[in-house]
Each structure stands twice: as structure tokens, then as C-alpha cells.
């Protein structure tokens, strides 16, 4: 089948190669001329995923209309902040029969909508899937054993995507708890910032383990409160992705947290990292406000918000978290 991947960043390239490995016809689209030129010249994105070559069979395009023409699945692999604008453009070309697979994670600022809600706000469709699970782009592209979850209310869409994606190295589970998967996928980026802060403070492994236990319980509570099933915490998309993102320095959100732990403010941290793509930063703001709207108090979210957005001292937060 034909798969169109919108977004030629690290995860977009990793997914494109994976779909191609499974004998699908793959087109990858980018809106950026310099990214397009680099992919044509080097067959890789030397800025976001150096060393990983795009399969020679994959077509590269800057024309969205032709890129998605006759595609069975259209994958949204763009930063969270771009999901609405890309969905709006996509709405001009996509048909009712095409499946939309979202890999972007987070909660839209100002609207507090999850990614499937943003897409459906721009495109009238029921064929929407969320793809999530513990999978760094480099490791996915390298053929490591990976566990992923496809969440959707549409069973046919789930099975189509599962067939396109699953192979001897990739195990795919399915669920209809699309809200629970999205809450988990969004919140783990937020919690990774806090774990990055803790790491920078040179706390013991025991302290980190205690905090992880508290955070996993907060995640379970938030999944249920925000409309998901609490048992989703035990899936690849739950505890699997949570542990990977919160314990690895490969995570941008973890790295951002380390910068905050050094005493940098938001702008200084983003400048040091050389990127604005830190989904957990923006999701923290949205999640904090969403929970306030629902009159729900989640201690870890409040504490992290105080550090990142209000400039509260890290050590003060550590004392408060240790007593929970």
C-alpha cells in the first residue's frame, strides 16, 4: 500500500524507512526547501538524524497534494505546534477513505485540545489513529526491537496500519483508548523535564526511583481524570514510553530539564539546545491550565509549572516532592 509521511524530521524519516522495509510504497513530504534539498543530495536529514539514510525507494516531495495522492495512510509526523496548520492544508486534499496516523504528541496551547481533536477540528474524518510507544527515532531506524501502540475508535484503520507497520522487530498492540494513549504520550514529555531537573541536581538513584513511582501514579490518575482508561498506564504507550523518556538523556525534554536544573530560564535553555521543539514545555502550560479548568490538583504538574514558568527554586520543589 502507499504510505505518505508528512514531516521529514527524525521520527518521520525513521517511520518512512520502517514502512518501506515492509514493502510499502512510501513518499515523504517536507514544506522546507533546505530540508528537501538536503534529502535529495544526501538522502538523510543531517540536522535531526545524521547517519540514517533514507531508503532509495522512498520518494521525496514538497507538494502535499501529489504526496498524498492514492495513499492509504497519511502520517502526521510534524511538531505539535505545526499540527493545526498542516491539518488545515491537508484538509484541501485528503479523501474520506484515507487514514490519518498521528505521531505528534501534546496538548495544543490556547485550546487545550489533544492532537486528534486538533486534526478533527480541521478535517471531518473518523479514520484517525494515534501511534505511540517507547521508540527513539535512531533506534527505530536501526531495526531494534520496538513495541508500539495504535489507538483508534476505527478498527479497520487500526488493522490497516498494523499490517503496514508490524514486522519481526516491531510489535504492535491495538487499543480503542485514544484519549488515554494521548494523555500518557503528552504527560511523559512533561515528566521528562522534571526528571532532567532532578538528574542535574545529582540526586541519588533511590531519590530518582521514588520520584518515578510518584510520577507514574500521577500519570495513572491523569489518564482516568482526562477521559482515558487507567489500565492504559500498563501499555507500551503508558509505562513503556514514560520510562524511556524520563530516564534517557537522548530525550529533548530530559535535556531541557537538565538546562533548567542548571539555573537557565526557558529562552536560555532553548538557545543552548538549539531547538524550539520541546513538546513537554508547551504541553506543561496546557496541561496545567486543563487541570485547573477541571479543578484537579496534580502536585507534580503544579510544582514543575512553578519551576519552569514562575522561576521557583529547584531545591524547594525537591523538598515538596519528597514528602508526597
Q: What domains, with CATH codes, occur in the chain?
A: 2-176 (3.40.50.720), 179-322 (1.10.1040.10)
Please say whether the beta carbons of 67 and 4 come within 8 A: yes
Please say whether the beta carbons of 137 and 11 come within 8 A: yes
Sheet holding 73-76, edge to edge: 59-61, 25-29, 2-6, 73-76, 99-102, 128-132, 146-151, 170-175
The DSSP bridge partners found for residue 146 are: 170
The pLDDT, as a whole number, for residue 277 is 76
The pLDDT, as a whole number, for residue 311 is 84
Please say whether the beta carbons of 221 and 183 come within 8 A: no
Please state the pTM of the whole predicted model.
0.92
- Pairing of β 25-29 and β 59-61: parallel
Instruction: Give burial (CB, 10 Å; 0-12/13-18/19+) of 55.
Output: middle
pLDDT means per 10 residues in the chain (324 residues)? 97 96 96 96 93 96 98 97 97 97 94 96 96 95 95 97 96 97 96 93 88 94 96 96 92 93 92 85 94 92 93 71 52
C-alpha–C-alpha distance, residues 317 and 314, integer Å: 5
Please say whether the beta carbons of 241 and 185 come within 8 A: yes
Amino acid at each position: 500500500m502507499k504510505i505518505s509521511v508528512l514531516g521529514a524530521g527524525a521520527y518521520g524519516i525513521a517511520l518512512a524507512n520502517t514502512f518501506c522495509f515492509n514493502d510499502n510504497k512510501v513518499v515523504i513530504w517536507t514544506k522546507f526547501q533546505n530540508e528537501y534539498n538536503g534529502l535529495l543530495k544526501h538522502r538523510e536529514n543531517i540536522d535531526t538524524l545524521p547517519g540514517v539514510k533514507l531508503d532509495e525507494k522512498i520518494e521525496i516531495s514538497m507538494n502535499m497534494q501529489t504526496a498524498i495522492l492514492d495513499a492509504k495512510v497519511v502520517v502526521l509526523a510534524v511538531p505539535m505546534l505545526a499540527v493545526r496548520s498542516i491539518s488545515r492544508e491537508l484538509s484541501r486534499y485528503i479523501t474520506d477513505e484515507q487514514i490519518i496516523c498521528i505521531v505528534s504528541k501534546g496538548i495544543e496551547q490556547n485550546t487545550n485540545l489533544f492532537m486528534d481533536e486538533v486534526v478533527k477540528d480541521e478535517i471531518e474524518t473518523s479514520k484517525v489513529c494515534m501511534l505511540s510507544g517507547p521508540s527513539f527515532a535512531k533506534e527505530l531506524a536501526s531495526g531494534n526491537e520496538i513495541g508500539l501502540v495504535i489507538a483508534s475508535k476505527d478498527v479497520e484503520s487500526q488493522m490497516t496500519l498494523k499490517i503496514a507497520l508490524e514486522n519481526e522487530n516491531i510489535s504492535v498492540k491495538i487499543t480503542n483508548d485514544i484519549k488515554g494513549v494521548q494523555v500518557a504520550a503528552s504527560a511523559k514529555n512533561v515528566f521528562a523535564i522534571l526528571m532532567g531537573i532532578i538528574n542535574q541536581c545529582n540526586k541519588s538513584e533511590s531519590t530518582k526511583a521514588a520520584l518515578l513511582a510518584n510520577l507514574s501514579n500521577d500519570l495513572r490518575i491523569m489518564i482516568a481524570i482526562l477521559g482515558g482508561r487507567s489500565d492504559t498506564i500498563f501499555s507500551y504507550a503508558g509505562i513503556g514510553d514514560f520510562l524511556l523518556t524520563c530516564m534517557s538523556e537522548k530525550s529533548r525534554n530530559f535535556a531541557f530539564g537538565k538546562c533548567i536544573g542548571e539555573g537557565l530560564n526557558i529562552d536560555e535553555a532553548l538557545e543552548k539546545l538549539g531547538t524550539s521543539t520541546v513538546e513537554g514545555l508547551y504541553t506543561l502550560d496546557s496541561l496545567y491550565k486543563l487541570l485547573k479548568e477541571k479543578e484537579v490538583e496534580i502536585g507534580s504538574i503544579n510544582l514543575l509549572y512553578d519551576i519552569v514558568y514562575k522561576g521557583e527554586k529547584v531545591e524547594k520543589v525537591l523538598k515538596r516532592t519528597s514528602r508526597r
